[in-house]
Amino acid sequence: MKKIINYFNQFPYQIFITDTAGALASIVFLLLIYYFDNFFGVSKNDILVLIVGASLLVVYSFVCFLLKPKRRSLFLKILATANLMYCLFTSYIFIKRISTYTFWAILYFLIEILVIIFLVSIELKIANQKKE
C-alpha cells in the first residue's frame, strides 16, 4: 500500500482520475447486470439507483481531476466520504436482496465493496498526510 500512496504523492491528482476510472468500470458492470438481470437475479431498480450514484462519483472525481484544487486533501475527504456512502448503500442493497442473487451477482458485489473500501482507505491516508 505504501508504494501506491507514494505514487499518488508523486502524481497528486492521479487519485481523482483513478477514482473516475473505477466508477466508470462500476457503471459498465452495472449496465451488464441491468441488461442480464435474469442471469444475475438483481432488481433493475436497484441497479439504476447504483448507476446514478456511480455517475455522480464520475462527475465529481473527474471535475476534481480537471480543476486540480489546491486543497486536494479536502476534496479527497469529500470523495472518500461519497465513496463510503456509495459502498454502504451498495452493501445495504446487497444484504437486503441477497436471497435473489445468483453466484455471479454475489461475487460482483463482494468484489465491488472490497475495491471501494481499499480505495477509500488510500484516499483517506493521502488526505490525512501532513505536509512536509
pLDDT digits (tens, 9 = 90+) for 42-74: 999 999 999 999 999 999 999 999 999 999 999
Within 10 A of 110 (CB to CB), how many other CB atoms are there?
12
Judge whether residue 131 has pLDDT over 70: no
Residue partners of 20: CB distance under 8 A and separation at least 6: 57, 58, 61, 62, 65
- pTM above threshold 0.95: no
Cα–Cα dist 97/44, whole Å: 12
Domain locations along the chain: 15-127
Could you give the 3-state DSSP secondary structure of residue 42? coil
Tell me the pLDDT band of 125, cut-offs 50, 70 and 90: very high
Tell me the pLDDT band of 114, cut-offs 50, 70 and 90: very high
